[in-house]
Structure 1
């Protein structure tokens, strides 16, 4: 038997950028809260270690989101450049042959 193919949802690059920025900002807020708690509260050694581990994981997620955003923004710029180039070619053809 073959497995049914999963349908990939078609999402625009701009929508994906917005989603990742939301996730990144949520992680950033969580990190800020954890850092505040780490500085202000007196925690047991185990709680402090757990909080530091959580902060490390959150920082890694933020870095991952930053890399994804960099790739998506580059793709978005490339798509924009392609669209502008096509519009310029169409305008050139229009003025060369029609006008």
Structure 2
């Protein structure tokens, strides 16, 4: 469930989440690189794998929230278009 932040539009929330998701993916790439290239102690490897697992979970959460926000954004756009079309129809009949 997406928590609505006070004063932020859906587009702003989407931008913020996309930024967080991008940072999360970048961090995952860095962890993956360390796991592949560095010689690590078993504890160090386990710690990095836990960190990667947490990052994957965060990324999945952000992706779900983005999906919900994008659906809400599409609904808002459809309502806006419907209102504009209604205004055009009313204006057209009013001026006839």
TM-score, reference length from structure 1: 0.91
Cα RMSD for the two superposed structures = 0.8
- 1:54 lines up with 2:67 in the alignment: no
- 1:16 lines up with 2:16 in the alignment: no
Match of 1:4 in 2: none
**Equivalent residue for 1:88, pick from 75, 85, 88:** 85
Aligned mates of 1:33, 1:41 — CA distance in 2: 11
User: 1:50-83 deviations in whole A, cap 9, x for unaligned?
Assistant: 0000000000000000000000000000000000
Match of 2:87, SS? helix
- 1:26 lines up with 2:23 in the alignment: yes
Aligned mates of 1:98, 1:20 — CA distance in 2: 46
Match of 1:77 in 2: 74
Aligned mates of 1:96, 1:10 — CA distance in 2: 37
- In the alignment, structure 2 segments of 5+ residues that lack a partner are none
Match of 1:49, SS? helix
**What count of residue pairs does the alignment treat as equivalent?**
92
Q: Find runs of 4+ consecutive structure 1 residues off by over 4 angstroms.
A: none
Structure ID, larger Rg: 1
